[in-house]
Amino acid sequence: MWDFSVITKDMENVMDVFQKGQVVKICAPMVRYSKLAFRSLVRKYDCDLCFTPMIVAADFMRSNKARDSEFTTSQADRPLIVQFAAKDSQTLADAACIVSPFSDGVDLNCGCPQRWAMADGYGACLINKPELVRDMVRQVRNQVENPNFSVSIKIRFRTRIHRDIRLTVDLCQKAEAAGVSWVTVHGRTADERHQPVHYDAIKTIKDSLSVPVVANGDIKNLKDVESTRQLTAIDGVMAARGLLANPAMFAGYEDTPLECVWDWVDIALEHGTPFTCFHHHLMYMMEKITSQQEKKVFNALSSTSAVLDYLNETYGSARLLFVSVS
């Protein structure tokens, strides 16, 4: 069960992050990866706001085990948005009420393109159901007692961008009328994976709404943050793969600095991060700073102790220098 005594921490209003005149820098909801330990890492490197991985609201409500494993936080883990996959209003509202004392808002996933999600009525299929999305936003707004608790949605575009952008705008405007706090737009359709981001369509949505709009897609460094702002006038950016490759990206580093690697080691060990997750994060982080031969050796390691031995043998002197300077 959750230890409520250590995870409650009041925040005046999560929307304050959008009032600073700067682009809000956000860690995206990533299955398996954007958990507490990784959120703790990116917060050290100028990440303004973090999302949990997507949680299926029905499973969350049905099972104590699911709640304990899927939603883990700490006193320092704020501001925090809990992202849910849901397909009916009351289940989403019930889940939001449970997490509301321990987070700053919930986000409805309307963009996950995975087949299982869409087959079950979750994720990107909701962009074709604007009235349902509107009702889900309204029910959360009506049933969570904290007026500062945010309700946001994360969407993709409907197919045939330029022909159907008006339908995506309509969805967003219905959500806005229901009380949505902000909208995150992944700049691709559900059918697109690595195609170019549709910045013009993001700008169309931004120009159509009064609430903040966040852009998601191909944010890999601070130059991308600035260029996206100039192209779209958005209020925030959300990064996923860019942060996996370089958790210090928002602090202005072009590649993952070694001190960030060591920070991850310390944080992951402190949180008892399972080896596979611990190792995978390091593989992403070290992709650009290791040779092909080093990758081959490192990626084949099979235990936490082996990883620690490798890091100490290869980068131990750099860590000693970093500690002495600090």
Which positions are catalytic?
Answer: 112
The reply, when asked if residue 147 is annotated as ligand binding, is no
| Distance separating alpha carbons of residues 50 and 39, to the nearest angstrom | 6
Which residue stretches of 100-217 are H helix? 115-119, 130-143, 161-178, 199-208
The reply, when asked if residue 241 is annotated as ligand binding, is yes
The reply, when asked if residue 29 is annotated as ligand binding, is yes
Alpha-carbon torsion (309, 69, 155, 108), positive or negative: negative
Other beta carbons within 10 angstroms of residue 244's beta carbon come to 23
Question: Is the CB of residue 90 less than 8 Å from the CB of residue 139?
Answer: yes
The reply, when asked if residue 240 is annotated as ligand binding, is yes
The reply, when asked if residue 186 is annotated as ligand binding, is yes
| Distance separating alpha carbons of residues 106 and 238, to the nearest angstrom | 16
Question: Is the CB of residue 248 less than 8 Å from the CB of residue 45?
Answer: yes
Other beta carbons within 10 angstroms of residue 221's beta carbon come to 18
The reply, when asked if residue 31 is annotated as ligand binding, is yes
The reply, when asked if residue 300 is annotated as ligand binding, is no
Q: Strand, helix or coil at 118?
A: helix
Task: State the binding site.
Answer: 29-31, 83, 154, 186, 240-241
Task: State the binding site for FMN.
Answer: 29-31, 83, 154, 186, 240-241
